[in-house]
Structure 1
């Protein structure tokens, strides 16, 4: 008999018997046998108890708190390849990958090697360094929209900077985003935002000035008519449109090509700029990002995650005539002490180099397709409604009948209570999924067929009992 603590997480101890279902090489999660209803305190519980006295909600980013799936978060001790270990010694197949950056595998040996070499030279210069040029040329070469780039330290910083740039270039103040899309926590974007805001069930964030909120317009994703209506009601006032070209912050939602093509046509006709927020999709779903995958070239692009190889990083770039407005070339001011720091540049260069090798994206597509198809089949075998999808190394699923074309669909249809039960039970099985129905999942180059088959079998067992 397995006994769980209040958070419904298995407890470190002797290995749970699984018979022939698990090979010795597959990740296992351990539990102790004890009297039913016995409460056990784990190291994760202890760390989180202390953390709640130190940080708001015990975490430094809200979705980590597990609020929408229940129970305590597991506290990580280390990561390697496609696996993570918590402080209690439990091992999991990891489908978060630090929320996307670990696309070549966590603590990748090649990335670690260049980081060790750079440590000897210094971690921060606050001055130009040659690695900035190397990574910039790689980005410009691969991303269709980017003629010049500026490195920053986070995706939020990239998005708030590109918003300022759109306003400076067009001399207009309003910006159009889409309900449920998340572009970081800058004031202008915390209006009908997705991701952690949706996960926690929060209203538009307190602390955002009414004047700022009024300058942020919203339309419905995959609905061109809603976009036309907003432009008609704000004629000549909209600086630009920003969107996730594949939504990952309302769950995984794919755009129609007609939607993206329509946005490109509307923004050109209205004299507004089009920005793809590729912080999540950048270099993950294709070598040239989502814009290459869909064949739509925006005016501006924001990036992050993958291009830092696991270190904090962000970037924004686009047409040269727009980017030359950025200081010191132009009057739009933006700066950062750690921008382009040599550690992040070194890790990003090696990561993009690995992704450029033959077969990298084919591997991501194959293992992700196998994972999604397997989970869908397992759900249907047990009579659960499910809809799912993937592009390359990015995926997601909802416990409901499809289609899901926008955040409003996801919020109205998805069975979040079932997802919470599924998530907790998958942790018991040794699988670490995003702790929110409204977050995409990620695979990496180091996920193997054995990892995928282990996960599918775990899902099959879980779906039969929840």
Structure 2
């Protein structure tokens, strides 16, 4: 299944800051949203945390205006400290697929809190969630829990290198696999949002083994393998890119990677931190029918609590200590609260009709927003897979970040602010996919599409 999509990128790095500053002034001056408390809290935060936030994209730098500060979330809604209500299409950046503060998940957590919040010792909940994940994902025979997607992706490269005895690996431009040093080369997500192609503080020798190919371009991968014969440990990719917009793969690309890695003696890893249990219960590998050697997970499997995991074939995973020589540890790994929330979340997702409903509402949302943009005279394309979607202001098909970076990004800031003031909370970056969940209603979708129509009609067309 292939989708034609694009991303917001557009301007060279040297011009984004000036454009962004102009956009901030414009939207701030025209804002009708009550944000006094949010502004007070963020002003205080500036002296306490770098940029006032604990993750860069939350700072709203690329969309203008100050960020709103959340007070609580419930179902498909978010409520800020000034009392504004929003339909939330971030869902804690993916985990809230069964709805924020889900009653069943909360009840299970309360029961577990009475037993303890952290053990630092084995508990049966780890076995239970591991079994659920292994049962769901075709390629998994063993799994190791960690505390974040970054930690999972960092660990999986170490294991791939140890198993193959090789040092180099291939990633794809515009794909984000966390903030570990070796990945901060042409990364996506917040790195792109801030216009940072790399990060200061990362030694050149650390990133030297990181080889970068073009997404959906199998020839670029073949060329790297040919130039580095018998030196590449593996290939890691987002099977559906969500960190430079929403860019699904072609089947030819995924199957080609599988065949190429097998022929070259390299390992194939799907980073399913975002796609796992979201685009299908079996993740992207189940949706597309491609079986990687290793996979990483996060977000959904923790039900909203900090979690990550990596896994794969038994012979590979038995390289990990204490079964093997590859060291990796974590004080809070397998935390009983995260295991509990993950177990209940997956139980809810297994219920009949869950993914049919997610596909129904998300496809209607994506199509409705694209139609609204076109009716207002804008170039727009978009697409969705189950509970993950994207819409972009462009007319040209985009299959990788290189193409996405040529798209017009100037419209995104006023669009984002207009939607925010209409009670719709979208990711504050054109480089992020959107998320829906089981708590989103048909009424939510109707309101969102109608808001998009009104906002887009105020933005000058092409």
TM over 0.5: yes
Q: Is the aligned partner of 1:277 residue 2:271? A: yes
Match of 1:127? Answer: 121
Q: Is the aligned partner of 1:171 residue 2:165? A: yes
How do 1:207-218 residues align onto structure 2 when only pairs under 5 Å count?
207-218=201-212
Match of 1:454? Answer: 447
Match of 1:443? Answer: 436
How do 1:219-238 residues align onto structure 2 when only pairs under 5 Å count?
219-238=213-232
Q: Is the aligned partner of 1:195 residue 2:189? A: yes
Match of 1:144? Answer: 138
Match of 2:257? Answer: 263
Q: Which of residues 326, 335, 340 in structure 1 aligns to 2:334?
A: 340
Match of 1:434? Answer: 427
Q: Which of residues 97, 100, 112 in structure 1 aligns to 2:94?
A: 100
Q: Is the aligned partner of 1:89 residue 2:83? A: yes
**1:368 aligns to what SS in structure 2?**
helix
8 A Cα contact 1:5 1:11, kept in partner: no
Q: Is the aligned partner of 1:10 residue 2:4? A: no
Match of 1:465? Answer: 458
The number of equivalent residue pairs is 434
Q: Is the aligned partner of 1:68 residue 2:62? A: yes
> For 2:64 and 2:400, how far apart are their aligned partners in 1?
25
Match of 2:418? Answer: 425
How do 1:385-424 residues align onto structure 2 when only pairs under 5 Å count?
385-413=379-407, 415-424=408-417
Write the deviation string for residues 143-201 of structure 1: whole angstroms up to 9, x where unpaired. Answer: 01100000000000000000100000001111100000000000000000000000000
**1:120 aligns to what SS in structure 2?**
helix
Q: Give the deviation of 1:397 after TM superposition.
A: 1.3
**1:11 aligns to what SS in structure 2?**
coil
Match of 2:199? Answer: 205
**2:263 aligns to what SS in structure 1?**
helix
Q: Give the deviation of 1:10 after TM superposition.
A: 3.2
Match of 1:355? Answer: 349
**2:410 aligns to what SS in structure 1?**
helix
Match of 1:376? Answer: 370
> For residues 158 and 8 of structure 1, do their structure 2 counterparts lie closer, same or farther at Cα, with a shift above 3 Å needed?
farther
> For residues 247 and 8 of structure 1, do their structure 2 counterparts lie closer, same or farther at Cα, with a shift above 3 Å needed?
farther
Write the deviation string for residues 382-438 of structure 1: whole angstroms up to 9, x where unpaired. Answer: 11000101000000111011311001111112x211011100000010000000110
8 A Cα contact 1:199 1:437, kept in partner: yes
Q: Which has the higher contact order (CA 8 A, sep 6+)?
A: 2
**2:430 aligns to what SS in structure 1?**
coil
Q: Which of residues 302, 308, 313 in structure 1 aligns to 2:302?
A: 308
> For 1:230 and 1:349, how far apart are their aligned partners in 2?
41
Q: Give the deviation of 1:337 after TM superposition.
A: 0.4
Q: Give the deviation of 1:8 after TM superposition.
A: 5.1
Write the deviation string for residues 236-258 of structure 1: whole angstroms up to 9, x where unpaired. Answer: 11100000000000000010000
TM-score (norm 1): 0.92
Cα RMSD over matched residues?
Answer: 1.0
Q: Is the aligned partner of 1:48 residue 2:70? A: no
8 A Cα contact 1:11 1:42, kept in partner: no
- Structure 1 segments unaligned to the other structure (5+ residues): 13-40
Q: Give the deviation of 1:203 after TM superposition.
A: 2.5
TM-score (norm 2): 0.93
8 A Cα contact 2:27 2:65, kept in partner: no
Match of 2:10? Answer: none
Higher mean alpha-carbon deviation, 66-75 vs 217-226, is at: 66-75
Match of 1:24? Answer: none
